[in-house]
Amino acid sequence: MSSVKRIGILTGGGDAPGLNAVIRAVVKSAVNSGIECVGLEDSFDGLIEPDRSRVLTARDVRGIMRLGGTILGTTNRGNPFAYPTNTSEGVKDYSDRCIEMFHRMGLDALVVIGGDGTLGIAHKFAQKGIPIVGVPKTIDNDIVGTTNCFGFDTAVAFATDAIDRLHTTAEAHHRIMVVEVMGRYAGWIALYAGVAGGADAILIPELPFDLATVAEKLRERDRSGAHFSIVVAAEGAEGASRFAQGEGRHGRF
C-alpha cells in the first residue's frame, strides 16, 4: 500500500488551456487511489498563507474541463524564494515557511502545474526534500524533456486560424502582413502556426536571420506576381520588432 495519503496541487505562472483538465485528472486519480487532494490557491501563495487551501473532492472538479483558466487561481509573481514585499527589503525568502506549511498540512507530495518558472521553483523545493510531481504547462512549449506542453496545441490552433484569415485581406490590399505570436524565447508557436497557416516567412529566435535577406525574398514574391506576403515572427526573434515596422509592398521593403 502506498505511503502517500495526502497531496497538494497548485497551478503557477500564466493561465493556459487544459489547466482545469489536469486538476480534474489529478483529483480523480487521487480519490480513486484513496488519497486526499488539497488545492493550494494562487500558486505557492497557498503554502505561505494558511487559509489559502481547500480539500478537493471528485464533486469539486465535476464539469470543470470545459472551463478556461484554473479553479485554483494562479500568479507569476509569487516566487517564495524571492517574494515581493512592500518593505525596504523589496523581496523576502519564504521558502522555509512553505516547507513548514507543507508538513503542517500533512502533505506527502506536491503536484506543481506550470511552466519553466514555476517548475524551476518546484525544483528548488525538491532539492530541499519535498517530493514533487511536475506537470509541464506552457503555450511556449519550452520545457526541457517534453514533446508537447499543456496549452501549446490550443495556442497553435488559435494562431493558425488568425494567420489563415489574414491571407484574403493581405491579397486584397496587396500588403505584407507581419503576425507576431507569443512564445518568449522559443519559436515553437511561430514555427507550427506559420507552417500550418502557409506563411511566406517565419522568424524564430533559434535561427539567426538577416532582415535584408528576408526583405529580398518578399520582393521576389512580388516580382513573381504574388503581391502579398504573410510573415510570422516569434516575439523573441531578434530584429522581428524592427521588421514589423516595414510599410508593406510599396514601403521600405
- Catalytic machinery residues: 140
Rg (CA), the chain: 23
For the chain, what percentages of helix, strand and coil (3-state, to nearest 5) are there? 35, 20, 45
Q: What SS3 class is residue 197?
A: coil
Bridge partners, 109 (sequence order): 7
CA nearest neighbour of 135 among 126, 127, 213, 146? 146
* DSSP-derived pairing of the beta strands 132-136 and 109-114: parallel
CB atoms closer than 10 angstroms to residue 204: 24
CB atoms closer than 10 angstroms to residue 120: 13
Q: How many residues in total does the chain contain?
A: 253
Q: Between vectors from CA 216 to CA 215 and to CA 220, what angle results, nearest 5°?
A: 120
Separation CA 177–CA 230 (nearest Å) = 5
